[in-house]
Amino acid sequence: MSADTAPLTKVDSAISGLSSSPPESKIKHRRASSSAAGVYNINDLESEGKDLLIAKETQKLNWKLNTSPATLDDKEVLKKFLTTPPVKKIDLHFPLGLEVTARNMKGVTIKDALDAIHKQFKKKADDELELPVLAGFEWDKEESWTRLKVHQKKEGAPASSGGKKKKNKAGVEEE
């Protein structure tokens, strides 16, 4: 019976190639979030009470909602952040109730917002849209901290129709 007192060893062929500690087979390194430094979650900004500033360039784009943002003349504007401080995602709310979300883990740019809007309107003809041109965005923290109101106008000519809310202060000539 001296064989019984010797230390036991694994002999089974199914087990012999495996290590006895399963945690080593788990992934040791978890990929870091792909968000850039200084980019906030909109909900964190709300809890901290930080205000958002919207890029003023959006008011001067005169962009038709059913055309691709790539057709804009000023390509540099598209690279700018939509808000300051930059956020990972933001909801864009239209007056009739439609809501689209612009997302970018490195900070939502004007292009991201226009792409999200274009995706909703790209199949619409010009005459189907009552207000086909983007007039700008408005952030009203009393109504909703996490979304921007989208303002639209009839035409994108320099002498526009005017009757929009306070977002159209710059560059609008009253008739």
Q: What is the residue-wise DSSP string for 54-88? A: E-GGGGG---BTTS-GGG-S-HHHHTSBSEES-BS
Amino acid identity of residue 82, one-letter, is L
**Which tens digits make up the pLDDT trace of 62-100?**
999 999 999 988 889 999 999 999 999 999 999 888 999
Q: What are phi and psi of 28, to 5 degrees?
A: -85, -35
Q: How far apart are CA 102 and CA 81, in angstroms?
A: 12
Q: How far apart are CA 22 and CA 169, in angstroms?
A: 64
Q: What is the pTM of this model?
A: 0.69
Q: How far apart are CA 64 and CA 113, in angstroms?
A: 13
